[in-house]
Structure 1
Amino acid sequence: MAEHTAARPRGRPPRADREQVVHTALRLLGEVGLDALTMRRLADALGVQAGTLYGYFPTKRALLTAMAEAMMSGCQDAGENAATPREQVLALARGLRTALLAHRDGARVYAGTHAVGPNTLGFSDTLIGALRQAGVDAAAAVQTALLIVHFTTGHVLEEQAATGADPELLTEIDDLHQAIAQGEYPQLAETHKELTGTDFTQLYERGLQLLTSDVP
């Protein structure tokens, strides 16, 4: 009589929920950077088929939008203890910068996304509300809020690029100094150290003060 061999249970492949996908994507972002963050690599990290991810996020852009929303967690609370509406505006802007800096390529992920989750919308609503409380009219408050977000995103984009591990960066800076020294650029020659300085917080604060100079 032939020995009976039990069939191996096939089972279903592991599944991943939306929150787990975003959490893992942010972890991978820190490990490999945005350029190397592919849907296939993310699927491998989760132990699922790539098709599973497309059930949650039909495109990589949709995934980036969800990642941006996750990065904004808690940002709207940045100025809750501010003494004045103006101080709340400044604290919210700084909170956005901190949130983007907390993730490798954070500004690149955030730029161009239009998340409709509570983190992003809550931050925007709180920022506009603080500007309105400071006496700025509705239209100007929206414009100022957009300028703050765009300035912060662009500043962090440059900040993260300048502090990255690109070995060509130091060479490019040296080339810049040499070009200034060899050419007829008196203003650049006098200020070349500031031009390639790395005190990004001081530079950000100056820009932020200029942007909000008309906020009481």
Structure 2
Amino acid sequence: MSDPSTPRPARGRPPRLDQARTVETALTLLDGSGLDALTMRRLADALGVQAGALYRYFRTKEDLLTAMAERIMAGIDAPTGAADWRDRLTGLAGALRQALLAHRDGARVFAGTHSTGPATLGFAETCTGVLREAGFSDADAARTMVAVVHFTVGHTLEEQAVGEGEGGLPADPEVLRGAVSSGAYPHLTAALPTLTDPDYAPHFEFGLALLMSGIEARARFTRRGPC
């Protein structure tokens, strides 16, 4: 029996369209079929509206992707408790990666968009604040924040690309093993166990630690000055 408190749409009237529902439906389609299959027409069909109705909220697909990126950023669970700027920034980068991984092609959706929504700006504000409070200059704090975000997004782009091979199947590490074994690549052969490791978390953590070490070393040099 239906709930009498739930309003029913008038017979023959298309479902009510709003921006939040449109973005959530787009993310559902994204998770099911990937970014390449997400079109305005498919989204309109899923919403039960004419494609032209979407342009009330999104003039272009790029506008839609920007709104989707903002919604992805709203899913970030920012870590708390760390006192050291390096630990705090590392935790924020990890939280960004997890938010992007939570959606199929999440990094592709985010890359190249320039959302000025509260979730995106709030994340950038937190990262920049961590650095300014640690004594970084305004310019260095901004550039460091950008470098960490770019590393995280770029790494996650590769991670998700490898995770979705042709037909949606995982990339086969045997292809790399066969290519390396067929030539004179002794150094790559020695490194194959690491290069073919399907767990990308250690790769991310290692690269992020290198980036943090470089940021810290540069900060010390800047404050001390050249010898």
TM-score by length of 2: 0.84
Specify the alignment match of 1:66 in structure 2: 67
| Match runs of 1:1-216 below 5 Å | 12-75=13-76, 78-164=78-164, 166=166, 170=171, 173-213=173-213, 214-215=215-216
Deviation per residue, 1:6-64 (Å, 9 max, x gap): xxx98653331011100111111111111111111111111111111011101111100
Aligned to 1:6: none
On the 8 A contact 2:89/2:130 being kept in 1, the answer is: yes
Contact 2:79 2:92 in 1 (8 A): yes
Moved more, 130-139 or 161-170: 161-170
- Between 1 and 2, higher relative CO (CA 8 Å, sep ≥ 6) is seen in 1
| Range 143-152 or range 77-86, more displaced | 77-86
Unaligned runs of 5+ in 1: 1-8
Rg: which structure is higher? 1
Structure 2: how far apart are the matches of 1:197 and 1:188? 13
How far apart, CA to CA, are the structure 2 residues paired with 1:170 and 1:206?
A: 22
Identity between Structure 1 and Structure 2 (%): 54
Distance 1:103 1:169 in 2: 16
Question: TM-score under structure 1 normalisation?
Answer: 0.88
Q: CA deviation at 1:92?
A: 0.8
What is the root-mean-square deviation of aligned Cα atoms in Å?
2.0
Query: Which secondary structure state, in structure 1, belongs to the residue aligned with residue 36 of structure 2?
Result: coil
* Number of residue equivalences: 206
User: For structure 2, which runs of at least 5 residues remain unmatched after alignment?
Assistant: 1-9, 220-227
Q: CA deviation at 1:180?
A: 1.4
Give the CA deviation at 1:147: 1.0
Residue-by-residue CA offset, 1:151-183 (whole Å, 9 max, x unaligned)? 111111111122225357645x43322221121
